[in-house]
């Protein structure tokens, strides 16, 4: 729920409230605030508060970033990924079994966020650097989760590969619909773009896993 910083003043949101409203990782929201996209102030206790007006403006802007057909494809891809995750596709993975329910839920949530950021980075005029920064932040949290869960390096690699496979499958299925009738070199270009994005995600994931595990 939004709240005024001063009685009668503008409405402000906590980090959690604002990130939920925007459906982005808190680290992404902090980066946007640092870049001036959202007005903030700090409470006497040092906690950030975010302008509800600016957050609602970003919600509208993010929705407008995608052409309607791409928005539909993204929603379909997100739905497919969510079904895969909830259908127990990960249940057979050895690394997945020891994770507690909260860690599993967070891993899955971050996977969906990565998909959304990847797709939104394609939109005409999109903030590609911002999407990549958000993806790196989400991947770093996954890396920290893997380290805190006590996964070995091999298990952490398999965990990332499982999510990467689901992302690639969802994106390629989506792009195959969007790119029907386009030259083959356009499809190859799309694949390379996905690969370059996910390579950056992998580096951030492994860096955070190594740093946390030291």
Domain with 106, as residue range(s), is 66-213
Pair (48, 120) in one structural domain: no
Q: Are residues 75 and 110 in the same domain?
A: yes
The answer on 181 and 165 residing in a single domain is yes
Q: Are residues 54 and 70 in the same domain?
A: no
C-alpha angle 167-91-139 in degrees, rounded to nearest 5: 40
On whether both 28 and 132 belong to a single domain, the answer is no
Kindly tell me if the per-residue pLDDT of 37 is higher than 70: yes
Mean pLDDT for 122-142 is 81
Residue 44 shares a structural domain with residue 107? no
> How far is 141 from 174, CA to CA, in rounded Å?
26
Asked if residues 130 and 32 have their Cβ atoms less than 8 Å apart, the reply is yes
**116/138 same-domain check:** yes
129 and 177 belong to one structural domain: yes
Number of compact structural domains in the chain:
2
Co-location of 25 and 131 in the same domain: no
Calculate the alpha carbon distances from 46 to 49, 92, 125 in Å: 10, 43, 35
Is pLDDT larger for residue 51 or for residue 82?
A: 51
Nearest to 25 by CA among 88, 101, 107: 107
| Same-domain status, 134 and 176 | yes
Q: State whether 54 and 93 are in the same domain.
A: no
pLDDT beyond 60 at 130:
yes
Give residue-wise pLDDT tens across range 53-86. Answer: 888 777 665 555 555 545 555 555 556 555 555 5
Q: Is 200 or 127 the better-scoring residue by pLDDT? A: 200
Please give the model's pTM, rounded to 2 decimal places.
0.63
CATH code for the domain of 35: 1.10.1660.10
Predicted local distance difference test score (pLDDT) of residue 201: 93
């Amino acid at each position: 729920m939004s709240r005024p910083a001063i009685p009668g003043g503008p409405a402000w949101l906590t980090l959690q409230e604002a990130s939920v409203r925007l459906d982005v990782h808190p680290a992404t929201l902090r980066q946007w605030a640092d870049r001036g996209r959202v007005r903030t102030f700090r409470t006497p206790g040092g906690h950030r508060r975010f302008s509800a007006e600016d957050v609602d403006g970003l919600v509208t802007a993010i929705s407008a970033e995608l052409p309607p057909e791409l928005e539909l494809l993204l929603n379909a891809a997100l739905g497919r990924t969510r079904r895969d995750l909830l259908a127990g596709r990960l249940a057979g993975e050895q690394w997945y079994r020891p994770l507690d329910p909260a860690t599993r839920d967070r891993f899955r949530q971050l996977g969906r966020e990565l998909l959304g950021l990847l797709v939104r980075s394609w939109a005409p005029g999109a903030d590609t650097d911002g999407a990549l920064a958000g993806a790196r932040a989400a991947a770093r949290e996954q890396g920290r989760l893997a380290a805190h869960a006590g996964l070995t390096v091999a298990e952490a690699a398999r965990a990332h590969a499982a999510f990467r496979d689901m992302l690639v499958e969802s994106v390629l299925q989506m792009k195959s619909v969007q790119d029907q009738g386009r030259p083959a070199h356009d499809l190859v270009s799309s694949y390379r773009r996905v690969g370059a994005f996910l390579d950056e995600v992998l580096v951030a994931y492994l860096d955070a896993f190594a740093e946390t595990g030291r």
